[in-house]
Amino acid sequence: MNKLPISRNEGLIFDIETIKSLRQLGIVGYLSGTLPLSTQQNNFLGVPLRLLFEELLYVTVHHPEYFIVPDDVMFQGLYASLTDDDLHRIRQFAEKEHNQRLETKRKEFEAKMSQLRTNGKKIPDSAMIYNTEKEPVFHEIKNTSNHIPNIETWNDHFDQPEVQTKLLLQLLQSRPNLSHSLTDYLIFSHLRSNGYFITAGLRFGGKFVAYPGDPLRYHSHLIIKPVYNGEKIELKKLVNGGRLATAVKKVYVIAGLTNKIDVDGFGSQLQPNPKEFIKSLEAGPVKTFSFEWAGFG
């Protein structure tokens, strides 16, 4: 399991192995770390890797081996939203984990004693029985005297499905315009499903920039500009976008959804299982149109 730490509703990845594994999934992000006394830019930046909202949501929805780890503010919202049934399921999950550890320990013990007998050592049958008092299963106790629930005491529970559902809902509800954010995400997911690597496209006048492969090996080909439901497309903006894209040897693409996303209408569907609901939205078609200048005469 890989952790996706959240800070102020943004994904910040400090672990190098997690960054490498995300890269293999086509999740690029952008490095944002620097030294306070010697600030650097561009290629001199280091960890943490900051993830776009769309990247964070894509990994959470499609790769269950990654799970969200909240910051203090997000955790307080999480704990306040948990019901008695949620807490009961979490306790049951913890007991199940304990029993699994106990069973693993018992098998290791029996295998060890059988090996000793095989090697000719005389061991009475009573000693072959696993005794939890003599061979206990150890659990890590957090270094805190605070009995109020906090991140340290809950660190082992964040990967549980009920907790991840609550955290994902919080992440979605933190967006200032959820309809636009989901539209951006569905366009991002459409591009990823077609093999493109995606980065932020603000410096080229778009929402995303799409690469045919890893950005370390390829130049970007597409500048993506989402068009939201009900938004008017101004001809002047199309001309500006097409001219800019041609000047930097890219193709200007506008993308939008065929089906309208009504946030108020699907609130009740989002609550039980946001991952499955987002996957159902991904089944809807995404329309794309490209613009580029052509020569005359």
Catalytic residue among 98, 107, 219, 237: 219
Distance CA 58, CA 262 (A): 20
Domain boundaries for CATH 3.40.1350.10 within the chain:
175-297
Amino acid 34: pLDDT: 81
Amino acid 117: pLDDT: 72
- Three-class SS state of 208: strand
Amino acid 145: pLDDT: 47
Catalytic residue among 58, 66, 196, 211: 211
**Second CATH level (architecture) for the domain 175-297:** 3-Layer(aba) Sandwich (3.40)
Residue 219 bears catalytic tag: yes
Angle in degrees, CA 173, 179, 184, rounded to 5: 105
Residue 134 bears catalytic tag: no
Query: What's the one-letter identity of residue 138?
Result: F
Which among 55, 46, 48, 69 is positioned nearest to 22, based on CA atoms? 55
Q: Mention every residue, 6+ apart, whose C-beta is less than 8 A from residue 212.
A: 195, 196, 197, 218, 221
Residue 211 bears catalytic tag: yes
Running along the chain, 297 residues long, what does each successive block of 10 average in pLDDT?
87 94 94 76 80 95 92 80 69 72 78 75 67 57 50 69 86 89 95 95 92 94 92 88 89 90 63 85 90 65
Catalytic residue among 166, 190, 207, 250: 250
